[in-house]
Structure 1
Amino acid sequence: MTDLATRAAPPTVTALRRAAPALLGYAAVRALGLLTLALWSAARGKSAYTLLTARWDALWYARVADLGYGYQVRLPNGDVHSNLAFFPLLPWLERGLAAVTPLSYADAGFVVSLLASLAAAWGIFAVADHVYGRSAGVFAVLLWAVLPVGIVQSMAYSESLFTALAAWSLYAVLTGRWLTAGSLAALAGLTRPVGLAVVAAVWAAGIASFVRERSTADARAGECAPAPPGDGPTRRVRASGGAPGTPSAPTAVRRALAMLLAPLGAVGYVLWVGHHTGKGPLGYLDVQAGWRNGFDGGLAFARFVADKFTSFPEALAGVGLIVGVGGVVWLYVVCVRQRQPLPLLVYAGVVTALALCASSYFGSKPRLLLPAFPLLLPLALALSRLRTSRSALVVGGVAVASAVYGAFWLNGSGPP
């Protein structure tokens, strides 16, 4: 894998100016998606704003912001849907914003999502720019914007907030700002269960850095060790008292603190749920079981796909699902072959595994993959090597298709 680069991050104003084309392009794509949704919804007699802020998960987050935890619904089949399944950072932000503005909790969720989506786009650009350069960074952001489920980035959901925290945490790791990386990872862990992917990335980077530095130090120490008598001039250890490549004590401490900070958000909330429900440290798993959600290694998803082949029209959907999953796996293999930095590979791998191997809500899997932006970097790199006119045509065409699909998708009967 590519060694972890730790060159300093640029100043904020310079970084924002550098990211401006990506952010303007992102805003244009999202505006197209929202306009298409508004027109489509109006034609069907629905409110686009209600679809974005007051349905499905958005309602659950708003209820947490309003009433706190403890609300649940018992379905006719006996399943219990508890709002403890929803992590607290987004509701906290909704409550805080509603407290200082005239906005309702739903309105606040929409504002948080819009701002977080811009922060996520900037973070994705920063990561891609750091690894592959500015042009690849711009296309990485545009590709994230034109994903078929990109409309979720403008909903009062937690995907945009989580992706923003994850992207900036990964960027902090890549630029050697360990305490920032650990703090953002802890916040990501308070946002969604998949926050564990950010924790894993910080830990992988920290362990790899430690192993690499120890190996370098041992090698340099061996070079500087005294030679055996009679074998020539004596080589002595440098006057500094250590081999080059040995990390300074403050850096090692910051890295260790980051690794301690990173899991606090996710672990803290899960332990609180266990205490709140009286079911012990794994009580959160019982909450998820009430939603018929869990991790089974992909068996339920495989059965779901296999069932599509029981009739001809459904078989076409089954083929589409297989092609889609194959495409995701292929992109990850390309990321590995292109030697992406270790934290990006770990993060994308965990997000992908958790999304594909969850045992329920199969229609939501594309949304669950939304934060796995490192998978887009090979495509962004390929687009950056095309002529500008060709790449613009590709992105523009996909943006239109994505806007139409997003409008059709949200006006459907089921949750995204």
Structure 2
Amino acid sequence: MPVKDLGLRRAAPALTVFAAVRLLGLAVLAGWGAAVGSSPHTLLSARWDSLWYARVAAGGYGYEVVLPNGDVHSNLAFFPLLPWLERLVGAATGFSYGSSGLVVSALAGLAAAWGIFAVADLLYGRRAGVLAVALWAALPVGIVQSMAYSEALFTALAAWALYAALRGGWLTAGLLAAAAGLTRPVGAAVVAAVWVAVAAALRDGERSRRMAAGAALAPLGAGAYVVWVGARTGGGPLGYLDVQAGWGNGFDGGWAFARFVGDRLASPAFAAGLGLVAGVALVLWLYVRCVRQRQPAPLLVYCGIVLALALCASGYFGSKPRLLLPAFPLLLPVAVALGRWRTRRAGLVLGAAALLSATYGAFWLNGSGPP
């Protein structure tokens, strides 16, 4: 891959666009909150998963809730890197852990935008890089990038790990993959991408101690946490899967999700069912476009695993759009296509998408269910 300048000056337009879209989302959320009497700070930092991460930061692992049906919601389901960073920021600033999570997500969001720009710029040029970041920021669930959730942090680690792997920075790629594995279960996708990049380099005759070290480092984060959970719960290698099962999560190849969609198609919520079918079809079509675009194998493997884990999980169907947020390679064909448009036309489309995203984000967070 060619060497490109990744200084702040080159990435500045992408980071500026990202910040502007995120500020728009926060402004609309604040206006919506003023109208309905909700607290944007609470919605972003002290509800749903944000509370679970803050509890881990405050008291470590061991907290659980037993539901009336006997299911156990354990905080062992939440990987530790975000709570560790919340604790670090809280100690440095005196902020609450929830507010510290907002700081982490704000910085991680910028790092993710920079990483997405770096990957797209490397492969398709600076204009495509800026547009890819704009598209990622303006996704319908883009507000999650500003929440005390782990998606922004994970995407930052994944994007820079992929960039390092494409450039042959094996130690960096391995370390970032290990960190991604300490952030979310889908860190396995980053590990697989690094290994695929290593395999391609080996096929081309490249061999080095750094490559071997990077490949060995990549799975250590996720592996260490899963082993630790297994030892703590007494469940052995499958202990973490048992914890996820307590939350109603599992991997069934998409059967439960298909039933969920089918139930809506056969009910008065028919329009919602059609929307889900259209959404899944769009995601799969974009992945096919990625293949036809001849994206590097590490990106295709990473994106394919993120899609499979999101679409084929058996629980929390309303969270699937959020789980797809790290699949940024899906946006690269769209970014390249938009790059052929005149700047004014592309700007109008992206501006409209950003406004719709901000409005939907405010509506979504003021709803009853978790994102």
Which band: TM-score by shorter chain? over 0.9
Contact 1:8 1:176 in 2 (8 A): no
1:132-170 Cα shifts (integer Å, max 9, x gaps): 000000000000000000000000000000000000000
CA drift at 1:176: 1.2
Paired position in structure 1 for 2:291: 336
Structure 1 Cα separation of the partners of residues 33 and 217 of structure 2: 44
| 8 Å CA contact retained: 1:170, 1:201 | yes
In the alignment, is the contact (CA less than 8 A) between 1:148 and 1:405 conserved in 2?
Answer: yes
Q: Which of 88, 91, 95 is the aligned partner of 2:80? A: 88
Report how far residue 8 of structure 1 moved.
Answer: 3.5
Question: How many residue pairs end up in the alignment?
Answer: 371
1:277 corresponds in structure 2 to 233
Choose the corresponding residue for 2:160, options 161, 165, 168: 168
Deviant stretches of 4+, over 6 Å: none
Q: Is structure 2 residue 245 aligned with structure 1 residue 295?
A: no
Q: Alignment partner of 1:343: what SS?
A: helix
Partner of 1:263: 219
Q: Which runs of structure 2 are paired with 1:187-206 in the superposition (5 Å)? A: 187-206=179-198
Deviation of 1:380 after TM superposition, in Å, equals 0.4
After superposition, give the CA deviation of every residue in 1:241-295 in whole Å (9 maximum; x if it has no partner). xxxxxx3xxx521111111000000011000000011111110000000001011
| 1:368-402 Cα shifts (integer Å, max 9, x gaps) | 00000000000000111100111001000111111
CA contact (8 A) 1:293 1:360 kept: yes
Quote the offset at 1:96 in angstroms: 1.1
Measure the CA separation in 2 of the matches of 1:124 and 1:117.
Answer: 10
Distance in 1 between the 2:30 and 2:367 partners? 14
Alignment of 1:213-252 (within 5 A): 213=205, 247=206, 252=208
Matching of residue 375 in structure 1 with residue 330 in structure 2: yes
- Distance between the aligned counterparts of 1:74 and 1:19, measured in 2? 47
- Consecutive unaligned residues in structure 2, runs of 5 or more: none
2:27 to 35, 41, 49: 35
User: Aligned-pair distance for 1:212?
Assistant: 2.6
Equivalence for 1:99: 91
Identical aligned residues as a percent: 71
Structure 1 counterpart SS, 2:237: coil
Would you say 1:155 and 2:147 are equivalent positions? yes
CA distance in 2, matches of 1:285, 1:161: 23
Question: SS at 2:73's partner residue?
Answer: strand
**CA shift digits 1:309-366 (9 cap, x unpaired):** 2224x11111110110000000000100110011110100000000000000000000
* TM-score normalised according to structure 2 size: 0.99
* Residues 394-405 of structure 1: pairs in structure 2 closer than 5 A: 394-405=349-360
Alignment pair present for 1:393 and 2:348? yes
CA RMSD of aligned residues (A): 0.8
Deviation at 1:9, TM superposition (A): 5.0
CA distance in 2 between counterparts of 1:25 and 1:153 reads: 14
SS at 2:62 equivalent: coil
Residue 384 of structure 1 aligns with an amino acid whose one-letter code is G
Single out whichever of 102-111 and 363-372 deviates more from structure 2. 102-111
